[in-house]
Amino acid sequence: MISANNISIGYGSRTLVKDISFTLAPGELVLLCGPNGSGKSSLLREIARRYPVECAMVPTRIPKLKGFTARDFLRNSLFDRPHSSLEVINQALEALGLEAFANRDISTLSDGEFQKLCIASGLVRRPSCLLLDEPTAFLDAENRILVVDCLRSLTSEQALTILFSSHDLHESAPRASRIFAIAPDGSFHTGGSEVIKKAFPNI
Amino acid sequence: MKRAVPILAAAVVILAGADLLAGGGGFSLPEGVLLWKLRVPRVLTAILAGCALSLSGAQMQALFRNPLADPHIMGVSGGAALGAALASLAVGTGLWISGVSMVAAAFAASFLTALLLVAVSSRVSGNTLLIFGVLLGFVFSAAASILQFTAREESLKLFYSWMAGSFAGTRYLEIIIIGAALAVGSVIALVNARGLDVILFGEEYAGMVGACPQYIRTLSMISASLMTAAVTAFCGPVGFVGIVAPHLARRACASSVHSRVLPVSCLCGAGLALAADILANVWAIPLPVGSTLALVGIPMIIAILLGR
């Protein structure tokens, strides 16, 4: 079980978010929202640091390099576990419907397909919780929904916990089972869609 | 693409045979001493140097995520040149021992440069290190220019002939030294191959998958600079192999996965070095290999850059 009790996020002497308390249950899809620079990425990184075994940070802003197949890429993501079986990779490809792309060069994948492959690269590490920092940034509306739906089915089918940050509240909030919001004043709110109004009264 | 490796290997064998015949104003097979003391060492040096430089280049390109990176750009051979220039100043004075002192100075200086890069690499990110290396190279070449400006003619002649680059004139002991550096360097490179794959996707990603970017960087810097220092000390600052060969290897494998690219880079590098050596030695007066490599290598770099 991943939880936080009254932690603060910041750097140097500056506190970005204070009084963060939450627990994450299996099967939850949690949206983390807040303005740019409010500490979303820092919070995700802090959770990954506190739970290195349970949580896998999903790479969301990496280059689509030529010369690596989807399978090579997933094998890279098991860098510290060179003896993992091929089965793990096949299962991750299957979970995201990427079997047909297994031997395709990743530079030829669309941005949406590549984002799904990045999620698969978190899955191969067999975590109980996936952390994603803005997985839908730079995607068009259709692909944004595709990616969030894909996260949603992972939580329900595999009893995974997923915490992802996003600025696309209209698409993401209705699909999330819970919302974490960081208000402009650095306060931390959790709850249903009503917390968005509470944290950001001006939008 | 599976056929690429046998074809490349066959090409290297044919080029090695042709290089053995190249010399004396055309192609001919000399006998006895000439063959064993001149031709065979030259061919072996070209092959080993080609392998060593291409492995160095492949590692640097992954490390800096820059298609043009190689140890020469990082100032390692600039350091070697400064060392050689310093040693050549001693010609004609009591301090001058023999040509060995220039080689030793070049080796020491390039290795010190590499150690400096390794030390800095643990503190800064990839791009900063690249800038640091390039600037270091400029400082070294400025210092070497000042030395040349004040040097006597016999010093300059010696220095320029080293700078021109050549695979000829190496003795077996020197070949063994280059070979030993290649052996150590290539083992490190192959052990680190997965690390190179991971670091290509960025240091943050490397951290996410449980790799230590600093460790990967330090290992490959040690490997690349050891090999470059050995080759540069004996053969002069020979460029372009390190940049071109890894690109050819990625084409040939249709992959960037280093466990495949590194061995194929060796084949490409050896082939390039042999081709340049043939081109340098078929004339009545041998040409500098540094120049023939540029003639062979630069069109290839341009083709690679335009063909992306």
For residue range B148-159, list pLDDT tens digits in order: 888 888 888 888
- Reference B9, options B251, B262, B267; nearest CA is B267
Bridge partners (DSSP) of residue B169 are none
Rounded to an integer, what distance in angstroms lies between the CA atom of residue B75 and that of residue B124?
17
- Find, in chain B, the residue whose alpha carbon is nearest to that of A76: B198
| Partner A, chain B 209-228, Cβ-Cβ below 8 Å | 209-211
Confidence at residue A33, expressed as pLDDT on a 0 to 100 scale: 94
SS (H, E, C) B244-264: HHHHHHHHHHCCCCHHHHHHH
For an interface test with B, the pick among A79, A105, A131 (most B C-beta atoms closer than 10 Å) comes out as: A79
Confidence at residue B124, expressed as pLDDT on a 0 to 100 scale: 78
**What b/e readout covers B230-243, taking b as 16+ CB neighbours within 10 angstroms?**
bbbbbbbbbbbbbb
Closest CA–CA distance from residue B239 to any residue of chain A (Å): 25
**Three-class secondary structure of residue A137 per DSSP:** coil
Nearest by CB to B202, from A56, A62, A79: name it. Answer: A62
Phi-psi region of B202 (alpha: psi -120 to 50; beta: other; left: phi over 0): left
Closest CA–CA distance from residue A166 to any residue of chain B (Å): 20
The reply to whether residue A59 touches residue B195, judged by beta carbons under 8 angstroms, is no
Which pLDDT band, with edges at 50, 70 and 90, does B275 fall under? very high
In Å, how far are B71, B102, B160 from B226, measured between CA atoms?
A: 10, 17, 23
A54 touching B, CB under 8 A?
no
Confidence at residue B94, expressed as pLDDT on a 0 to 100 scale: 59
Confidence at residue A85, expressed as pLDDT on a 0 to 100 scale: 80
B153 touching A, CB under 8 A?
no
Rounded to an integer, what distance in angstroms lies between the CA atom of residue B154 and that of residue B172?
27
Confidence at residue B119, expressed as pLDDT on a 0 to 100 scale: 82
CB B53 within 8 A of CB B238: yes
The reply to whether residue A80 touches residue B210, judged by beta carbons under 8 angstroms, is yes
Mean pLDDT, range A15-44, rounded to an integer: 92
**Rounded mean pLDDT of chain B?**
88
E strand or H helix that includes residue A8: strand A2-11
Closest CA–CA distance from residue B56 to any residue of chain A (Å): 19
The bridge status of strand A161-165 relative to strand A178-182 is: unpaired
- Reference B20, options B4, B2, B44, B3; nearest CA is B44
**Domain ranges within chain A, ordered by starting residue:** 1-54+127-203, 62-126
Task: Specify the CATH number of the domain A1-54+127-203.
Answer: 3.40.50.300
B252 touching A, CB under 8 A?
no
Structural domain of B248: 4-306
Phi-psi region of B255 (alpha: psi -120 to 50; beta: other; left: phi over 0): beta
Of the listed ranges B30-44, B85-99, B226-240, the one predicted with least confidence: B85-99
| pTM given for the model | 0.89
Q: Answer whether residue B241 shows pLDDT above 70.
A: yes
| Partner A, chain B 58-117, Cβ-Cβ below 8 Å | none
Confidence at residue B45, expressed as pLDDT on a 0 to 100 scale: 97
Which pLDDT band, with edges at 50, 70 and 90, does B128 fall under? confident
Closest CA–CA distance from residue B80 to any residue of chain A (Å): 34
Q: What is the pLDDT of residues B72-116, one digit of tens each?
A: 888 888 898 898 888 888 766 655 556 677 778 888 888 888 888
Q: CA torsion sign, B102 to B106 to B109 to B112?
A: negative
Of the listed ranges A190-199, B88-97, B234-243, the one predicted with least confidence: B88-97
- Find, in chain B, the residue whose alpha carbon is nearest to that of A125: B209
Confidence at residue B163, expressed as pLDDT on a 0 to 100 scale: 86
Phi-psi region of A86 (alpha: psi -120 to 50; beta: other; left: phi over 0): alpha
Confidence at residue B138, expressed as pLDDT on a 0 to 100 scale: 93
CB B269 within 8 A of CB B241: yes
The reply to whether residue A79 touches residue B210, judged by beta carbons under 8 angstroms, is yes
B254 touching A, CB under 8 A?
yes
Total tally of structural domains belonging to chain B? 1
The reply to whether residue A56 touches residue B208, judged by beta carbons under 8 angstroms, is yes
The reply to whether residue A72 touches residue B197, judged by beta carbons under 8 angstroms, is yes
The reply to whether residue B201 touches residue A82, judged by beta carbons under 8 angstroms, is no
Q: Answer whether residue B126 shows pLDDT above 80.
A: no
Most confident of A81-90, B86-95, B266-275, B282-291: B266-275
The reply to whether residue B197 touches residue A59, judged by beta carbons under 8 angstroms, is no
The reply to whether residue A62 touches residue B211, judged by beta carbons under 8 angstroms, is no
Which pLDDT band, with edges at 50, 70 and 90, does A120 fall under? very high
Confidence at residue B118, expressed as pLDDT on a 0 to 100 scale: 77
Rounded to an integer, what distance in angstroms lies between the CA atom of residue A143 and that of residue A113?
9
Mean pLDDT, range B52-75, rounded to an integer: 87
